[in-house]
Amino acid sequence: MLCAPPQPSAGITPYFDGQMNQIETMIGPGDPPPYNIINEQGQGKVLLVGDHASRVIPRALDNLGLDENLLEQHIAYDIGTRKLVHHLSQHLDAPAILAGYSRLVVDLNRSLEDPSVMPEVSDDTPIPGNQNMSVEHRNQRIHDFYTPYRKAIDTMLHAFRENGVVPAFISIHSFTPQMAGFVRPWHAGILWDKDPRIPVPLMANLRAHANGFNIGDNEPYSGKHPADYTIDHHAEASGIPHVSIEIRQDLVNTEAGAERWATILDDALRDILANPELYQVWQSI
């Protein structure tokens, strides 16, 4: 007698592997993978990451109950970062790992203990699909989206180590020109905590630019612990050189703007990344 297959949990799509075993996942056949790697064979001693580079919601989650126009706004992703990372990856000849899904599905720059890792409200906007989640549903999101991204970064860093390289780790984000009625004056912000090797000279180089850029030091966000989890977890904890760079989103929301800022960052990073003394494990005093 043929038996009907078990029904999947709400919001989880079933599919079948080659042996016709049913597997539950929130990533359906038409959805993208949980992360993308670009320029994987790049020769630069740098790994770029974009935690918030995608606004995609898997079909199984039905836009988390949000109107499509909200998914085009900053609550869903860091506008312009995918473009910027693509261009900067080419300038630096560096591999890059980009998130495949929106921060509203799971925020990859948060620890799993942080309540905002799957926010019920973002910038005063309720997220219906994140409210009243079961433990099983939450764990499925971690399994499908959060863990693969973490493992991809670990795998890439391990490959550097296997080749005897202590890489530089650069995280790319963008911020809104205005927040809660406050016009943010910065063109870019450099976020950091304990290791000054990249952020301090990078701020100096950017501030010396002929255009007179306003560069924030831990503005408009702070890189101090416990903020900036990806940096803390993958770079600071192991002592590899690192920095988190925030660019105002209206400066990088077009291909031309992203290429311009990739060039600006490439110029500002060139002498820093050319220093062979950078590529060693750093111990704070």
Q: How is the chain split into domains, by residue range?
A: 33-278
pLDDT at 64: 98
Q: What is the mean pLDDT of each run of 10 residues along the chain (285 residues)?
A: 35 45 78 98 98 97 97 97 98 98 98 97 96 96 98 98 97 96 96 97 98 98 94 96 98 98 98 97 75
Say which CATH superfamily domain 33-278 falls into: Zn-dependent exopeptidases (3.40.630.40)
pLDDT at 180: 86
* Angle ∠(69,71,74) on CA atoms, nearest 5: 110
Q: Cis (ω within 30 of 0) for the bond into 220?
A: yes
**60: which 2 tokens?**
């199984």
pLDDT at 58: 97
pLDDT at 183: 96
pLDDT at 2: 30
pLDDT at 7: 35
pTM score:
0.92
Whole-angstrom Cα Rg for the chain: 20
pLDDT at 283: 80
pLDDT at 51: 98
Q: Is 171 exposed, middle or buried (0-12, 13-18, 19+ CB in 10 A)?
A: buried
